[in-house]
Amino acid sequence: MSEQQMGVTGQSDTTAQHAADHPGVDREVIEVKVDYLPAPAPFVRKYRDETVVDTVRTDAMTFFGVKDFQDRNIHKFFLEFEGHILENTSQTLEQLLGPHRRSAHFNLIERVTQGRYPNGLELPTR
């Protein structure tokens, strides 16, 4: 079993506290798989269903060695699920998937909001 398949990733301290306040609530565990087109292997990890989408997104980005950044453009990675780009990264996996789903398959894709420098014209120095 590879490193990314071990354990269950939880949520922030706030959510952990929320769970502690509701000890009788059993949380579902969801196995998440994220593919990234250039990478040879997927990111796979188990999460509790109260985990927000952004946690999966950032964990997958770390796994694949990519990051959001801004230069003259804005580079941001998104998860795509069943053909839809997940703009709302604060929703939980339960909200996205429903209450009983145990697995989910995402794709990591990058959106670049471009600057104004087309090829062969003005090429700014870094």
Partner 1 sequence: MASSYRPVESWVVAEGILRRTLDAVRPIGRSGREAGAFWLGRREPTAHIYTVVLPHGIGVEEQRGRWTVAPEVFGVVTRWAKPRNLCLLGVVHTHLRGVPPVLSWSDRNLGVRFPDTLAAIIGNGGDDSDHLYWGWYVFEDGEYRSLVQDEVRERIRIDPAQQFEVWKADAIGIEQLGV
**For binding to partner 1 (CB under 8 A), which residues are involved?**
4, 35-40, 42, 62-66, 71-73, 75, 78, 80, 83, 85, 107, 109-112, 114-115, 117-121, 123-124, 126
Shortest Å distance, C-beta 4 to partner 1? 8
Cα(107)–Cα(61) distance, rounded to whole angstroms? 11
Q: What is the closest distance, in whole angstroms, from the C-beta atom of residue 5 to partner 1 in the complex?
A: 13
Least Å distance, CB 19 to partner 1, is 29
Q: Which is nearer to partner 1, 16 or 41 (CB)?
A: 41
- In terms of CB distance, is 29 or 39 closer to partner 1? 39
Q: Which is nearer to partner 1, 18 or 111 (CB)?
A: 111
Task: Give the whole-angstrom CA distance, residue 14 versus residue 107.
Answer: 27
DSSP string, 50-112: T-BHHHHHHHHHHHHT---EESSSEEEEEEEETTEE---TTSBHHHHH-SS--EEEEEEEEEE
Based on CB atoms, which residue is closest to partner 1, 14 or 119? 119
Query: CA dihedral defined by 81, 82, 86, 90, rounded to 10 degrees?
Result: -60
Minimum gap (Å) between residue 78 Cβ and partner 1: 7
